[in-house]
Amino acid sequence: MGHGLPTNRMREAVREGRPSLGTYVRTPSPMMIEMLGYAGLDFVRIDLNAGHFDTETVENMIRTAHAVGITPVVRVERNDPLSLQAALDMGALGIIVPEVQGRADVEAAIQAVKLPPLGERHSGGGARTRYGLVSAADYAAWAAEHITLSVQVETRPAVAEVDAIVTLPGLDMVQCGRGTLSYEYDVPGEQYHPTVMEIEKTIVDKALAAGKLVGLQYYPLRDPGQVAAVRAWIKRGVQCMCLGTDTDIVFTYRQLVSDLTR
């Protein structure tokens, strides 16, 4: 940690030669972030794309993440420059853009998230620079290392342009989205259909070959058998594994209740 600015634990994990582990958060609560921080996870993905959050709550969730030492990432609702920049202004260390439609979409996200020369975002001031305690130059050096941009390649146009996407400077991480892919490729709801799994494998291989971080999501709390799949992807070189969502605790208790009342 330099100049009092936080460390991105996803990046730190890569330097340490280990995978980073986290979960999506769909519960609009700083307390949920606090609990997950104490659980030992590396990151939380605050999911504006699938939850209902007001701005103040998101800001307090991000602030709590920094307080307990877990890396806050925000999945935005859409590829809108103001939304991406607002999440960064609140202190997010990572941005996830869902359902990009191709190379042009990714280039637009890079422009919004990255400082020059890669993008057009301004370093500004306020909390991001500790209200002037961190110089613009020091902030820029820190941001280049710790602010991560990820996109989800989960639409037909994006899959068709995956080779062009994964080579873009300024894009840090590539993710899939098996649920969306299942609808795009006419097997709705079947996120483990062979067609979907083959597309996921292709995206992962191309992203890793291009030197990008790769993030995948599986659900070991819902299905303990998926622990093997998580281990297999880590062995394959995937650096960032999202272990379902915070709401998966429902599945855990449902199974426990079933076992105890059988």
Q: How far apart are CA 183 and CA 176, in angstroms?
A: 13
Residue 146 is predicted with a pLDDT of: 96
Residue 127 pLDDT more than 60? yes
Asked if 1 and 52 count as a contact pair (C-beta separation under 8 A), the reply is no
Residue 108 pLDDT more than 50? yes
Residue 131 is predicted with a pLDDT of: 75
Q: How far apart are CA 229 and CA 21, in angstroms?
A: 14
The pLDDT tens digits of the residues spanning 152-197 come to 999 999 999 999 999 999 999 999 999 999 999 999 999 999 999 9
Higher pLDDT: 116 or 123? It is 116
Give the pLDDT mean for 54-59: 96
pTM for the full predicted model: 0.95
Q: How far apart are CA 219 and CA 131, in angstroms?
A: 40
Residue 124 is predicted with a pLDDT of: 65
Residue 1: pLDDT band with limits 50, 70, 90: very low
* The amino acid at 64: T
Could you give the domains of the chain? Answer: 9-261 (3.20.20.60)
Q: What tokens were used for 128? A: 């991001």
Give the pLDDT mean for 143-149: 96
The pLDDT tens digits of the residues spanning 186-212 come to 999 999 999 999 999 999 999 999 999
Residue 2 pLDDT more than 60? no
Q: How far apart are CA 149 and CA 200, in angstroms?
A: 19
Higher pLDDT: 125 or 253? It is 253
Residue 125 pLDDT more than 70? no
Q: What are residue 24's DSSP bridge partners?
A: 45, 245
Q: Would you call 131 helix, strand, or coil by DSSP?
A: coil
**Cα of 169 vs its chain's centroid, Å:** 18
Residue 233 pLDDT more than 50? yes
Residue 130: pLDDT band with limits 50, 70, 90: confident
